[in-house]
Structure 1
Amino acid sequence: MYHDAIVEEIHQIREEYSQSFNHNLKALFADLQKQQAESGRKVVNLSRKSGLTTRWSGRARDIGGDAKDTSRRST
């Protein structure tokens, strides 16, 4: 099996980081949030906005009042 030195190093760093918090996910998450807040970088939220649907859902009326229903169902 092929061993990539960079991947192995990343796994080692991740394991050491996890061990430093005794593998406590809540503590890990809190630390990552703290680092994010202290970084000063803009954080982008990619979660879906309520009220909007995907273009494939056939429910275009939820997106805008003047949009046509794009579903191809024949009833």
Structure 2
Amino acid sequence: MNDEIIDEVRSIRDAHAAKFNYDLRAIYADLKKSETERVAAGHPFVSPPSEIPVPKTVLQRTRFARR
């Protein structure tokens, strides 16, 4: 099944990676640079949680049971 939004995101991601010759270190450095610039411009940055969240409902427990 093809989704046009997924295809667009993948093509953008591939173009970005190609710009750095698929070098993961260079891609990471560019993403960190972009992140630093956005934070300096005043955009909010949300840090990941320090602890893994505990499911509160039965649905959440069954949904994430296999992870």
TM-score range, shorter chain: 0.5 to 0.7
Q: Which residue of 2 aligns with 1:27?
A: 26
Larger Rg: 1
RMSD of aligned C-alpha atoms?
A: 2.1
Aligned counterparts, 1:3-14, within 5 A: 3-14=2-13
Q: Distance in 1 between matches of 2:46 and 2:4?
A: 32
CA 44–5 in structure 1, closer or farther in 2 if over 3 Å, else same: closer
Structure having greater relative contact order (Cα 8 Å, sep ≥ 6): 1
Q: Give how far 1:35 is off.
A: 0.6
- Give the structure-2-normalised TM-score: 0.60
Percentage of identical aligned residues: 30
Q: Establish whether residue 42 from structure 1 lines up as the match of residue 44 from structure 2.
A: yes
Stretches of structure 2 lacking an aligned partner (at least 5 in a row): 55-67
Q: Give how far 1:47 is off.
A: 4.9
- Give the structure-1-normalised TM-score: 0.55
Q: Distance in 1 between matches of 2:4 and 2:47?
A: 33
Stretches of structure 1 lacking an aligned partner (at least 5 in a row): 56-75
Which has a greater percent of helix? 2
